[in-house]
Each structure stands twice: as C-alpha cells, then as structure tokens.
Amino acid sequence: MADTLTITDNRTGKHYEVPIQDGTIKATDLRQVKVTNDEFGMMTYDPAFMNTASCKSRITYIDGDNGVLLYRGYPIEQLAEQSDFLETAWLILFGELPSKAEYDKWAHQITMHTMLHTNIAKLMEGFRHDAHPMGMFISTVGALSTFYPDAKDIFSQESRRLQTIRLIAKVPSIAAYAFRHSIGRPFNQPDNELGYAGNFLSLLFRMTELRYKPNPVLERALEVLFILHADHEQNCSTSTMRAIGSSHADPYSALAGAAAALYGPLHGGANEAVLRMLHEIGSINNVPAFIKRVKSGEGRLMGFGHRVYKSYDPRAKIIKRMADLVFEVTGKNPLLEMALELERIALEDEYFVSRKLYPNVDFYSGLIYQAMGFPVDMFPVLFAIPRTAGWIAQWEEMLNDPDQKIARPRQIYLGASTRDYVPKDKRK
Ligand code: ACO
C-alpha cells in the first residue's frame, strides 16, 4: 500500500487520505479539505518557507544537523581540496565532473568571454565615486539583458548555454570594474593566460606592471572560497532567481534580482556585518560584555546561526583552516583574535548551544577577504561571483521541471471586508 497521511477534520468528521512522496505531502492535496463545496479548501501557512519544499532538485544536498554539504553528491571538503572553481561550476551546472577535453573547452570558452562591452564600462563610469560596489554589480548585471537580447530565448538550450558562459565569464570583470571605479583607478583588461581567480586578481589589483603575477596562495584561497560559495540549494537569493525566472524573464534580469537578495545583511552582507561587529567590540576584553548584550536580545552575533545548519557549517571549518595559510602571506588580521575568542565563548555558552548556533561561512571569510586587500563593501560582490554558477544551475533546473509554474504564493487576507468608497469631502 502506498504511504499516505490520514487527516481527520474535526469540523466535519471527514477523513482524507493524502499521498506521501519523498517524505512530503503536496500542499494542493489539502485543498480537498473543506466544510462546504464552494469553499477554497485548506491552505498551509508558512511565512519564510520554514517547512515548504518549493522544488525537486538534484544539485546540492545539505544535512544541517550533521554539517554535510554535497554538490551533485561530492562532499564540499573533497572539492575544496582537489577541484577548482570552473570545474566545480561545470559539475553544478551539468551534473557530472567534466572530462579533460570538456574542462579544457569550458575553461577556454569562459576565458574568451571575460571582456565587457565598452558601453558597459561607460555605464559603470556613470556611477557616483562612492557608489556601493554591490549596487553597481546588481545594476550592471541587469543592464547586460539589454546588450544580449538573444537571452530572452530561454527555451533554446543553445542560447541558455551561451548566456551561462557569458555570465560566469563576465561577473568577475563587472565585480573588478566596480572595485576599480570605487577607488578611482582605470579598468584593467582580462589576462587570458591566467586562471579564473588569477585573472580576477589581475583585474582588481594590476597597476602599471605589464603582467600581474597573482600570489599562488591567495589565488588558491580565492578559488577555494569560490568553490565554497558556488551553491547552497534553496536560500533567499536562489529562491529569488527561481521566482523571477519562473515568469520567463531573461537570465540577466533574474540574476540581478538574485544578487539584490544577496545584498541584505542576513544573507550575503553577513560577513561585512561580522567585520563591523568586530570593529565595534574593539578589543578582546570587551567580548564577554558583547556576548551578554547579544543574549539579552540587543543585536545578534553576526556570522553565527543558520536556517539550515544546526551544527558547525562545513564551509566555515574549511575557511578557518585556510585563514592560517592566507595570514602567513598577508600577516595576521588583528581582528582574528577577537573572532576566535567570540567563537570560544559562544560555543561554551548555554544560550548559543541550546539554540544550535554555530559559526557559519561568513564568520571567518570577511577576515580573509580583508587581509587580501578587499574593502568590506566588496564582500557581497565576492559572494555573488561564484554563486552565479549555482543561480544559473537552479534556474535551468526550474525551467526544465514540468512541475514548475510561475511562482505565486497565496495569502491569508486579514484586511477590511468590502466597503463603499467615500468622496474626500465626506470623509471624517
Ligand atoms: N545571534 C544571537 N542569537 C541568534 C542568532 C545570532 N546570530 N541567530 C539566531 N539567534 C537566536 C534568535 O534570537 C532565536 O532565539 P529565540 O528562540 O530565543 O527567539 C533563535 O536563535 C532562532 O533564530 P531565528 O531567527 O528563528 O533563526 P533563523 O533560522 O530565522 O535565522 C539567520 C537564521 C538569519 C542566519 C540568523 O541565525 C542570523 O540572523 N544570523 C546572523 C546573520 C548571519 O550570520 N547571516 C548569514 C547566514 S549564512 C549566509 O547567508 C551565507
């Protein structure tokens, strides 16, 4: 017998059998639960999607209780150790690790699409000198939609593949342009001899030298950070990508929306918030008082807690280890000691332990980015670059999923019932 859930409606005494598949019931199956035939039927109320699966996915698996993160079945630790970003991006997008020939072709295609149209550069020059790089990033990615109108052909696999290559290739260039603009330096052109992270470092930091030579430790650290941030299943920005894409908007417009969702301090802005918090605490001696304030509800310990992970975020573990390698090159970030002390106290404290609040990916990533020379404003942009691979993979999966339709939640209406319009001069 198939698995079913029996629901008894005490209002009517009726029983309903609802099929269970993959450990879930279909919310629409509840619509048969009604008192009278002309009723809409039972809905579920789930603000913030705390307990609602909005799709079936084969891309990323998270076991939040045990700190497990897999891309297409491969543990994040193995990818961080052995893969590079472009290979991981391919894996996320196409489901398997590429063959050597596939990888070489992919890397070549990405390299050949890193340049930006000169009008994109002009558009970016139009931003105020103090524009936030994430604001520039979001707007410019959205503007790409006007440069590539062929992207509207979302049901052509060929067109989708081309936009995928363009997006993955161009997001580092846009990010670097935003950074260069904010510090008043001319834009650098891509260096096709360098890898994905190496070229990005060159776009960011090359000055007058003919060829920029990235430090191999920092280049590898950036590749690893990119791998760790490439996808994270149905988070806020990915759900936004899917929701915008569900209206059949082109991928540039959808990705600009996803990046906008990433901008918020509870999502991609969290590592920036971690650094601001550490600056505010100011000294290791102030850590206990700060923890006390957090426990009394005055603000949050940024970089701690996660909707899904109720144990140590596996990405945070990898980043914490990598921080030591980076600091050997850059010198220690003076905020590190404070961060370690915060973590030590929080992990022993009943408040954090009972709520299963552990460091998340953002707790240490900001310290590394800062040591590498990035201003805090660039942090969400650094997140958006690799997440582009995940966003596109999830968008593609959504488009090819026959179960999906335009995203359109329901509401519980609690406002006024029908009433008659009153002209201005008759209102009280
Ligand atoms: N500091 C202190 N208390 C916290 C924290 C925190 N960082 N996070 C959660 N709590 C407390 C809440 O006050 C709540 O306590 P209560 O039950 O006494 O009211 C309890 O833990 C549960 O918190 P929720 O807000 O229900 O958890 P939710 O799953 O909605 O939030 C979130 C997850 C947004 C990540 C939250 O933990 C947070 O704000 N963390 C700080 C911001 C941050 O680091 N964001 C990065 C997330 S990772 C990413 O986007 C890449």
Tokens of 106: 């992919």
Of all protein residues, whose CA lies closest to atom 14 belonging to ligand 1?
A: 355
Ligand 1 within 6 A of CB of 361: yes
Catalytic residue among 306, 313, 349, 377: 306
Identity of the amino acid at 40? F
pTM: 0.93
Tokens of 132: 């936030």
Ligand 1, from 290, 357, 358: best to mutate by most atoms within 8 Å of Cβ?
357
Of the candidates 31, 1, 4, the residue with the CA atom closest to the CA atom of residue 17: 4
The Cα–Cα gap between 153 and 157 comes to 9
Angle at alpha carbon of residue 78, lines to 75 and 79, rounded to 5°: 90
Atom of ligand 1 nearest to the CA of 363: 44
| Residues paired with residue 7 on neighbouring β-strands, in sequence order | 16
Give the count of beta carbons closer than 10 Å to the beta carbon of residue 21. Answer: 10
Of all protein residues, whose CA lies closest to atom 16 belonging to ligand 1?
A: 355
Using the mean position of ligand 1's atoms as its centre, give its distance from the Cα of residue 302 in Å. Answer: 8
The Cα–Cα gap between 316 and 296 comes to 26
pLDDT one digit per residue (tens) for the chain, 428 residues: 689 999 999 999 999 999 999 999 999 999 999 999 999 999 999 999 999 999 999 999 999 999 999 999 999 999 999 999 999 999 999 999 999 999 999 999 999 999 999 999 999 999 999 999 999 999 999 999 999 999 999 999 999 999 999 999 999 999 999 999 999 999 999 999 999 999 999 999 999 999 999 999 999 999 999 999 999 999 999 999 999 999 999 999 999 999 999 999 888 888 888 999 999 999 999 999 999 999 999 999 999 999 899 998 999 999 999 999 999 999 988 899 999 999 999 999 999 999 999 999 889 999 999 999 999 999 999 999 999 999 999 999 999 999 999 999 999 999 999 999 999 999 99
Place of tokens 């760790």: 228
Q: For residues 43 and 57, is the Cβ–Cβ distance under 8 A?
A: no
Atom of ligand 1 nearest to the CA of 274: 44
How many residues does the structure list for the chain? 428
